[in-house]
Amino acid sequence: MEYVGTALAEMTMPQISPLAGEPIERADAERLAGVLKALADPARLRLLSLIQSAPEGEACVCDLTAPLGLSQPTVSHHLRILTEAGLLEREKRGVWAYYRLVPSAIATIADLLTPPRKRATKKAR
């Protein structure tokens, strides 16, 4: 498909220049928008929240369907988008697929939005 395309991961989101500073370039804007688009959905925000607060910090699809009130295919769909955005990682154990947050992925996004701080990123070029 053609969603985000692992924006955060291989797109190397950390290279996206922050919102602050000089005007953001077109490409950066599109990458950042891609990741934010993955976040900008109630169901997906709740998924992240549910997974993050789960016992081992992980959860399988069957645990997430009920709380969200969405069908299993729809939940899998959202999990896929979050995974491809680099926000979740998937591990299949037996019949179950366990999802957990990618350590500092969300924090990285927050840093890109936050203007003046310890940002170590050199926007190079």
Residue 120 CB, nearest distance to DNA (Å)? 31
Check residue 46 for interaction with DNA (CB under 7 A): no
Q: Using CB under 8 A as the criterion, which residues of the chain lie in contact with its own copies when the complex forms?
A: 19-24, 26, 29-30, 32-33, 36-37, 39-46, 48-50, 52-53, 67, 106-107, 109-111, 113-115
Would you list the DSSP string of 31-72? HHHHHHHHH--HHHHHHHHHHHTSTTSEEEHHHHHHHHT--H
Query: Residues in contact with DNA, total (CB under 7 A)?
Result: 26
Structure tokens at 110: 């927050």
Element (H, E) at 92: strand 88-93
Check residue 70 for interaction with DNA (CB under 7 A): yes
